[in-house]
Amino acid sequence: MVLRVGNASGFYGDRFDAMKEMLTGGPLDVLTGDYLAELTMLILGRDRLKDPRLGYAKTFLRQMEEGLGLARERGVRIVTNAGGLNPGGLAAAVRELSARVGVPVRVGWVDGGSLPLPDGALTANAYLGGGGIAACLRGGADVVVTGRVTDAALVSGAAAWHYGWGAEDLDPLAGAVVAGHVLECGTQATGGNYSFFGGHDVRRPGFPVAEVHADGSCVITKHPGTGGVVDVGTVTAQLLYETGGARYPGPDVTARLDTVRLEADGVDRVRISGVRGEAPPPLLKGGVTRIGGWRNEVVFVLTGLDIEAKADLVRGQVEDAFGKARPADVRWELVRTDRDDAASEECASALLRLVVRDPDAAAVGRVVSGAAIELALGSYPGFHVTAPPGKGAPYGVFDAVGVERGSVVHSAVLPDGVRVVISDPLRTRVLESVGEPALPEPLAVGPTRRAPLGVVAGARSGDKGGDVNVGVWVRGDEEWRWLVHELSVERFRELLPEVGGLRVVRHVLPNLRALNFVVEGLLGDGVASQARFDPQGKGVGEWLRARWVDVPVAFAGAG
C-alpha cells in the first residue's frame, strides 16, 4: 500500500495553521515538519544559553495542542526535527502536553549527533540519517522527535519503516530522499517562490504530499482544494534548490540527481521515478555555529538631485567621525532606487547602506550611531535615515565540517524507554564529482531578440554555508539545446558581475533540462553573518533571469 507523507513546515516560523490544514485536508499516513536550518541552529543555541531546558522549536508544541488530537483521530504519525538541540526535552514536553489535553500518544525520539564544542562555538552537530526515525516508528511511536537529521531523512526514515528497507536498498532509499528533498521546504514545491508564478494562483499555496511507493518512486501532489500548483516546473525548481552536483550525498545513501525523471501524472500530480542510489560517503556532514562578532547598520535616504554627491558627502563625514575608532569592517552600498521627475518622495529617493562589523561590541555601537545621527543637521540636504541606529547585534558564522562516523552515536529512544543504537551502513563510497554528460547538438538559433533570460528559463537559488547555488531550467527540448550551450560558466560570470573572481562550478542535469551553478563564497560566512544584501542568496536566481541576452524569437514570449 502506498505511503502518503505530507509536510506542514519548511522552516521555523512557517504558516502556523498548516498542521491543522494538512491533518484535515485529505488522507495521510505520516505528517512531517522541518523546522531546522543553519540559521535556526544559531537561534536555538542562543535560546539554550538563556535556559538549558530550551533549544527546540517552541511553535511545534503550540501547533500540537490541536494537532495531537487530530493526528490521533486520523491515525497519522508525526515526524519532526523540531527537537533541534534538545530532542529529549521536546519529547518530554509532548508527553506532558498529551497528558494535559487528554490525548494518549506514544512518543519516541532520536538521540545523538551532538559534537564536542570547538573553542568559541555555540552549537556543533552531525547530520544524522533516517535510521533512528524508522526504529522509533517500528517501536510503535505516534510522534517522533529528532534533532539535526538531514531534512530529507524525515521522509526516507518513514518510508524505510513502512516498507522494511535495509541499508542495502539504495535505490528505494535514494528515491525517498529525493521525495524528502522536494517536501522539505513546504510550499516551494507547490508554487511558492516560483519563477513562473504569474501563471497560477499562488497567493496561499497548499503544502505538498508525496505518495511513496515500495520501489522508492513517488507522486508529488497536494490536498484537494488547496491553493498553488504542482507541476513539473515547481518540482524541478525544488529539486535544484540548495543542491550541488549530480551526486546528492546523505548519511544513508547518495542519490543520483542525474537519474531523476519527472512526468505529469494528472492535475497537480508529478511522478518521480528512475532514481538511482549509491553507498553514502564515509564522512558525515557536520555543522558548527558560533558568534562571529558584532554588526550595526544605518540606511541613509538620499532624495532628489545630486544623489552621488550627497552619498560622497555623508560617506566622508562618517569616515572622518570614525577616526581611529573605525570598525574592523566598513561597507557602503548605494542603491539607486530613485527616479527622475518622480511623482512621490519615496520614488525620488535612493538608499545609502552602511554596514559595520567588529569582534568588539563597543566598536559597532555608539561609535556608529553617534557618527550617523550627529550629522542630522550638518550634512546633505534632506538628511534622514530609515530607522534610528541601535547598539548593534551579534552575528553568527556557520562552518560545515566532515565528521568521522565512528565518533557519533546515533540512537533511537523508543516510547517504552528502550534505547536502540543505529548501526552505520555496511559500506561507504568516497564522494566524487560526475563528469559532464554528452551535450545535445547546439540549436540552429535563427533570428534573436534582446530579452531577459527569464522569458525562457526559470531559476531558484539558495544558500549552503557561504556558497550559493543557482539552478536554471527550461521547459522544452529546443530551449534546453539553446540553454546548455548559451549559459556557460563564462557567460554566467558576465551576467552576474558580483561573482567576480569566486570559483563557479557548473553541473549539467539533462533529465531535468537544468543547469546548477555553485558559487563558492558569495555569502561570506553564511546567512547568519548577514554579509550580503541578500544573505541567503534567495534572489540571485531571479537577478540572473532579469539579465538580458540574445533569445531566439522562436521561443514563446521571446518576442
Range of the domain at 122: 3-281
Provide the pLDDT confidence category of residue 528 given band limits of 50, 70 and 90: confident
Q: Of the candidates 320, 331, 316, 300, which has an alpha carbon nearest to the alpha carbon of residue 367?
A: 320
pLDDT digits (tens, 9 = 90+) for 3-42: 999 999 999 999 999 999 999 999 999 999 999 998 899 9
| Cβ proximity of 186 and 192 under 8 Å | yes
Closest C-alpha among 394, 331, 408, 412 to residue 529: 394
Are residues 275 and 329 both part of a single domain?
Answer: no
pLDDT at 557: 59
With respect to residue 422, please indicate whether it lies within any of the assigned structural domains.
no
Which of 251, 281, 311 finishes a domain? Answer: 281
**For residues 34 and 185, is the Cβ–Cβ distance under 8 A?**
yes
Return the percentage of the chain with pLDDT > 70, whole number: 99
Write down the pLDDT at residue 556. Answer: 59
Residues 297 and 277 in one domain: no
Neighbours of 227 (CB within 10 A): 16
Q: What is the pLDDT of residues 68-82, one digit of tens each?
A: 999 999 999 999 999
SS (H, E, C) 282-329: CEEEEEEEEEEEEEEEEEEEEECCCHHHHHHHHHHHHHHHHHHHCCCE
Residue 558 has pLDDT above 60, yes or no: no
| Exposure b/e, 329-361, CB count within 10 A at least 16 = b | ebeeebeeebeeeeeeeeebbbbbebbbbbeee
267 and 302: one domain?
no
Whether 414 is in a domain gets the answer: no
What's residue 1's pLDDT? 87
Query: Is residue 237 located within the same domain as residue 358?
Result: no
Banded model confidence at residue 559, pLDDT cuts 50, 70, 90: very low
Q: Is residue 167 part of a domain?
A: yes
If asked whether residues 393 and 524 sit together in one domain, one would say no
Asked whether residue 497 is assigned to any structural domain, the reply reads yes
Residues 124 and 29 in one domain: yes
Q: How many domains does the chain have?
A: 3
Mind listing the pLDDT tens digit for each residue in 120-144? 999 999 999 999 999 999 999 999 9
Q: For position 464, what pLDDT does the model report?
A: 87
408 inside domain: no
Residue 390: CATH number of its domain: 3.30.70
Q: Is residue 322 part of a domain?
A: yes
CA angle, residues 70, 73, 76, in degrees to nearest 5: 75
Same domain for 301 and 277?
Answer: no
Residue that finishes a domain, picked among 260, 281, 302: 281
Report residue 524 as a C-alpha cell: 561570506
Residues 180 and 152 sit within 8 Å (Cβ to Cβ): yes
The reply to whether 274 and 360 lie within a common domain is no
pLDDT score of 527: 76
Residue 505 lies in a domain: yes
147 in the same domain as 69 = yes
Give mean pLDDT, residues 298-303. 98
| C-alpha distances out from residue 57 to 41, 49, 77, 96, 378, Å | 10, 15, 19, 16, 47
How does pLDDT run across 135-175, given as a tens digit for each residue? 999 999 999 999 999 999 999 999 999 999 999 999 999 99
Give a yes or no: residue 433 inside a domain. Answer: no
| pLDDT score for 526 | 80
Range with lowest mean pLDDT among 44-48, 96-100, 384-388, 529-533: 529-533
pLDDT in tens, 41-57: 999 999 999 999 999 99
Average pLDDT, the chain: 96
Shared domain for 465 and 368, answered yes or no, is no
Note whether 232 and 263 are same-domain residues. Answer: yes
pLDDT at 421 over 50: yes
How many other CB atoms are there within 10 angstroms of residue 519's CB atom?
Answer: 24
C-alpha cell at 156: 526516507
pLDDT value for 262: 98
**Left if phi > 0, otherwise alpha if psi is -120 to 50, otherwise beta: which for 453?**
alpha
- Domain end (from 397, 412, 435): 397
Cα distance between the two ends of the chain:
49
Same domain, 93 and 168: yes
